[in-house]
Structure formats: C-alpha cells, structure tokens
Homo-oligomer: A and B are copies of this chain.
C-alpha cells in the first residue's frame, strides 16, 4: 500500500504517535542486556505491546549501526515484527550527491523495505531526487529540528526575507509532485510552527521533541488542528520505550502510549 495512505488510515482512527525505537543496549532492562539479540528481543516485546496503538515505528539507525553487524541483524529482525499496516520510518537522515543518494534510497527501500525515510536536504534537489522517485514511499525532509542548535543554520534569516527552514519547506512543495513528501518540524519550536502552518499546508509532519526534549504535545496538536491539518505524527522515543526498567517495560510502554493517545483524543474532540 502507498505509505502516505497507510499513515492517513491511522490518522483517521485518531492515532498520531510514532514510537521511536532508539534502542540502546545500555538503557534496556538489565535482565535483557546479556541475552542473545538483546536489541531485537526488547523491540519485539515493545512492538507486541504497542502495535495496535501506534501510528508508526521509527527506527533510529545510529543505535543499530553502533553495534556493527549484530545491530544490522537486530534492525532487520525488528522490521519483521512490525505489522504491515503500521508505517515504518528509517530515521537515517541521509543526504549525498545523486549517485550516492540512489544507493541510500535502495538501501532503505529495496533492501530493508521501509515505508518511509528521513532525509537531510542540505545538498539540494539533485541529492533528494533518488528518494522521491519512489512514488509509493514517504520522505520526511528535515526542515526545523527540535535541538537548540537548530538556530545555528536552520533559523538563519535569508536576504529574501525568509528563513532557511522555510526555504526548505517551499522546496519540499516543489518536490511533492508524487504526493510522497513530508517534513520534520520539532515540537520545541512552537512559535515558528505557528508561523509556518500556512506554508506547510497539507504536508505530513513528523514532530520530534516531545517528552525528553521538552515539547508540549497538546499545545502543538492544537496548533495543527486549528490550522485545519490533521497530518501530524508525534515521535516519542525515550519517553515510551524506557518508561520502566523492569520486567513490565513493555506493559508500561503501552500504558504510556495510551496516555499520549488520550491526550491527542482530548484535543481532537474539543
């Protein structure tokens, strides 16, 4: 199924939370750390507990690459646990010249079979073309990220009166002829989001920065809804998957996801 359509079906049932699988061997419950395939085992339990309540799963490549071959195996196994109707996002933030970008696109879409990927737009149109050529996939471009240093470059004011991150959003619309583009916009940048909603329009938005990073989910959800858009996907990683360090970690993750879902539900019903 087309990836954006898959995500919209979740939005239609009120699900707007992406569970971020930033799975770190140092942070998973101690009783699991020494088991074989600890990362995959942890993810399996988390996915089993949350799969009916999650709009998407985002796999943060760094955490798997750090473990070398073992990590890549865990990544592949993890993908096999995710039901076909839930969007999978390769959070890889790739970006390179055309022939190299093509290899990265092949890696995430043809090799791993992800539905979606995060891409860094810094190198411009020809660097992102190989990704958007995959018409049925969904590509989230970094516009304004959730970290404090997003001010260094992304918030630079341009001579033409715009900001760099807005220039990215304009370009994303140009790139969106196949209706397979979205953006990343950090929840920590509330006022910028408020200013940008008329530019973002109907693009799907992956929103990191909730929870550990300080973004407020209700406020940000209200912003989207008041602008008439329901294509927002909040990512929560540490706030869900590490809710408990004990045997009940998966159960607690599910409970926390339910808390987030009900917060969204409250906003949607008001």
Question: Contact residues of A with B, CB < 8 Å?
Answer: 22, 24, 60, 62-63, 65-69, 72-73, 76, 93-101, 103-104, 106-107, 111-112, 120-127, 142, 145-154, 156-160, 164, 167-168, 171, 208, 213
Contact = CB atoms under 8 A, between A and B. Distances in A.
Contacts of A76: 68-69
A109 to B, nearest CB: 11
A229 to B, nearest CB: 25
A124 B63 CA distance: 20
Contacts of A97: 145-147, 208, 213
A240 to B, nearest CB: 15
A242 to B, nearest CB: 12
B69 A123 contact: no
A141 to B, nearest CB: 11
Contacts of A67: 111
B96 A66 contact: no
Contact of A123 (B94, B127, B142): B142
Contacts of A124: 147-154
A124 B121 CA distance: 14
A67 to B, nearest CB: 8
